[in-house]
Amino acid sequence: MVKDHIGIWENCLKVIKDNISAQAFKTWFAPIIPVKIDNNILTIQVPSHFFYEWLEEHYITLLSRVVRKELGTEASLEYSILMESNHKNAIPYTVKLPTQNNNSIRNSPVSMPLNTHEKQIRNPFIIPGLKKINIESNLMPQFNLDNFVEGEYNRLARASGYAVANKPGGTAFNPLLIYGAVGLGKTHLANAIGIAIKDKHPSKTVLYVQSEKFAHQFIDAIKNQTTNDFVHFYQMIDVLIIDDVQFFAGKEKTQDVFFSIFNHLHQNGKQIVLTSDKAPVELQGMEQRLLSRFKWGLSADLATPDLETRIAVLEKKMHGSGIELPKEVVEYLAYSINTNIREIEGALNTLLAQASLNKKAITLELAKQMVDKFVKNTAREVSIEYIQKVVCDYFDLPIEMLKSKTRKREVVQARQISMYFSKKMTKSSLANIGAHCGGKDHATVLHACRTVVNLSETDKQFRSYLEDLEKKLTLQ
């Protein structure tokens, strides 16, 4: 009795179903359509080239066994691969895989380009049959370009972010690597770029993922033998944003799979945005071939924000929250917390919470108490900038005068007092203190400190100046 191709495949499926999980059967064998049987060659139609590769890698032994059981030891298997699964009239592209010997029907896979216009991609990594338009971007809406304050410290990064948002994958900034210390706005800017792309290019599939999550997903894929699904999912993305890429350091397999994904996306004109706490040349534990890819586009750094930017950040935050603070409080926060944007915003939130819970007016004294508690576990010290501001306010001098070359007695005295308190209250070097005071050298700073000490011992009025200023500078 001559068996038809449908009956043969149904018999194969009965055996296959008993040997794999119900989910695996539903995902990988239910979509297969038997096409024909000719001279002991069974032709089956599969939805995509990726589907064919997955069968070849994971189920070839099982397929070989069931097909030979039905057709004999000389059986062969032929794959008919639809290049465009949503097109009813698409012509199958056939890959013939003759038997190499009596023990296997597997041959070397035939390389074949995927159709880039495929509208629906089978994606077992999330849900079989998932459409690209249904992929969640994971972007955080509170981080957008409108509330990302521009300053000298971030101007290049912000401008390049705008360029990428306007033309993702179409600029020289691919990849765009944003690097800088903790709390300077890397995550904010990366999300803002993704949100802007979603607004300007709704058809683009954007995905934001932290590098740690990416690595854990890959580990799970290895455990579950779904690495091909993992790779295929990430190759679907139009704009991939990886946060804190330095987490890949020392993880060789994770770097290998990301290298493969990176190459695929880049070669197909997809946009890649990365963030890191260091510049590419300073990243340790990363493969050189991956670092070289990072340097293909643009590396833009986020430096420590200057005073004007810190004040602007506070004012932007206050405006967005509909609150208003005394100017002296805003300046005190900006002068006192000069490490990063995150700490400045955190200090403001803490101050507002303290005032609300304790039903207190927001005053400079309350701000001093809050800052003392807020930063006591970090690098707690007043800044040279703040010392200069307090001294200049005390003597009613413009701060530009303090940094000038004038030798007027009252200015020289204020400058020397600023140097004295800067040496006493900060960890800054003498050279750095001098640089803040109009480019003076370390010898000038030492001389100023000795002069202040000597005058405080002999001049009662001068000593009272120091006492008043120290009270203003210390957080009591």
Residue 270, in any domain of the structure? yes
Structure tokens that stand for 446 in this block? 């030492």
Tell me how far apart the alpha carbons of residues 145 and 148 are, in angstroms, rounded to a whole number: 5
Alpha-carbon distance of 408 to 124, in angstroms, equals 77
CATH number, residue 462: 1.10.1750.10
- Could you tell me the pLDDT band of residue 245, with boundaries at 50, 70 and 90? very high
Of the three residues 242, 267, 302, the one that is the final residue of a domain is: 302
Residue 49 lies in domain:
5-97
Q: What is the pLDDT at residue 320?
A: 67
Q: What is the average pLDDT value for the chain, to the nearest integer?
A: 79
Determine which of 139-143, 304-308, 410-414, 440-444 has the lowest per-residue pLDDT on average. 304-308
- End-to-end alpha carbon distance in the chain: 100
Residues 297 and 311 in one domain: no
What CATH number did the domain enclosing 178 receive?
3.40.50.300
Does the pLDDT at position 456 exceed 80?
A: yes
Per-residue confidence (pLDDT) for residue 375, from 0 to 100: 58
The arithmetic mean of pLDDT across residues 253-275, rounded, is: 93
Domain boundary among 322, 355, 374: 374
CATH code of the domain covering residue 41:
3.30.300.180
Question: Contact 314/347 with Cβ under 8 angstroms?
Answer: no
User: Distance between CA 10 and CA 3 in Å, rounded?
Assistant: 11
Question: Is residue 199 located within the same domain as residue 238?
Answer: yes
Give me the pLDDT at residue 102, please: 40
Angstrom distances, CA of residue 428 to CA of 377, 405, 433: 19, 22, 6
Clarify whether residues 14 and 79 are in a common domain. Answer: yes
Predicted confidence at residue 321, as pLDDT, reads 66
| Number of domains within the chain | 4
Instruction: Look up residue 337 and give its amino acid.
Output: I
Q: Do 322 and 459 reside in the same domain of the chain? A: no
Q: What is the pLDDT of residue 94?
A: 53
Residue 396 lies in a domain: yes
In a domain? residue 183: yes
- Residue 158 CB neighbours (<10 A): 22
Where residue 163 falls among pLDDT bands split at 50, 70, 90?
very high
Q: Which residue has the higher pLDDT, 358 or 300?
A: 300
User: What's the burial of 261, exposed, middle or buried (CB within 10 Å: 0-12/13-18/19+)?
Assistant: buried
Q: Which residues of 313-350 are buried (b: 16+ CB within 10 A; e: fewer)?
A: bbeebeeeeeeebeeebbbbbbbbbbbbbebbbebbee
Same domain, 253 and 397: no
Domain-embedded: residue 416:
yes
The token pair that represents 341 in the structure block? 């944007």
**pLDDT tier, 381 (very low <50, low <70, confident <90, very high otherwise):** low
* pLDDT at residue 64 is higher than 60: yes
pLDDT score of 141: 86
Q: Are residues 314 and 458 in the same domain?
A: no
Whether 167 is covered by a domain: the verdict is yes
Q: Give the pLDDT confidence of 187-238 residue by residue, as tens digits.
A: 999 999 999 999 999 889 999 999 999 998 898 888 888 888 888 889 889 9
- Same domain for 294 and 313, yes or no, is no
**CATH number for the domain that contains residue 313:** 1.10.8.60
Instruction: Tell me, yes or no, whether 61 and 197 share the same domain.
Output: no
Q: Are residues 152 and 298 in the same domain?
A: yes
**91 and 165 assigned to the same domain:** no
Residues 329 and 399 in one domain: no
111, part of any domain: no
pLDDT of amino acid 377: 45
Cβ neighbours around 167 below 10 Å, total: 15
What is the three-state SS of the chain? CCCCHHHHHHHHHHHHHCCCCHHHHHHHCCCCEEEEEECCEEEEEECCHHHHHHHHHHCHHHHHHHHHHHHCCCCEEEEEECCCCCCCCCCCEEEEECCCECCECCCCCCCCCCCCCCCECCECCCECCCEHHHCCCCCCCCCCHHHCCCCCCCHHHHHHHHHHHHCCCCCCCCCEEEEECCCCCHHHHHHHHHHHHHHHCCCCCEEEEEHHHHHHHHHHHHHCCCHHHHHHHHHCCCEEEEECHHHHCCCHHHHHHHHHHHHHHHHCCCEEEEEECCCHHHCCCCCHHHHHHHCCCEEEEECCCCHHHHHHHHHHHHHHHCCCCCHHHHHHHHHHCCCCHHHHHHHHHHHHHHHHHCCCCCCHHHHHHHHHHHCCCCCCCCCHHHHHHHHHHHHCCCHHHHCCCCCCHHHHHHHHHHHHHHHHHCCCCHHHHHHHCCCCCHHHHHHHHHHHHHHHHHCHHHHHHHHHHHHHHCCC
Q: Model-level pTM greater than 0.75? A: no
For residue 52, the cross-strand partners are none
Strands 76-81 and 176-180: unpaired
Judge if 430 and 393 occupy the same domain.
yes
**Is 358 within a domain?**
yes
Q: Counting beta carbons within 10 angstroms of the beta carbon of residue 98, is it exposed (0 to 12), middle (13 to 18) or buried (19 or more)?
A: exposed
In a domain, 165, yes or no: yes
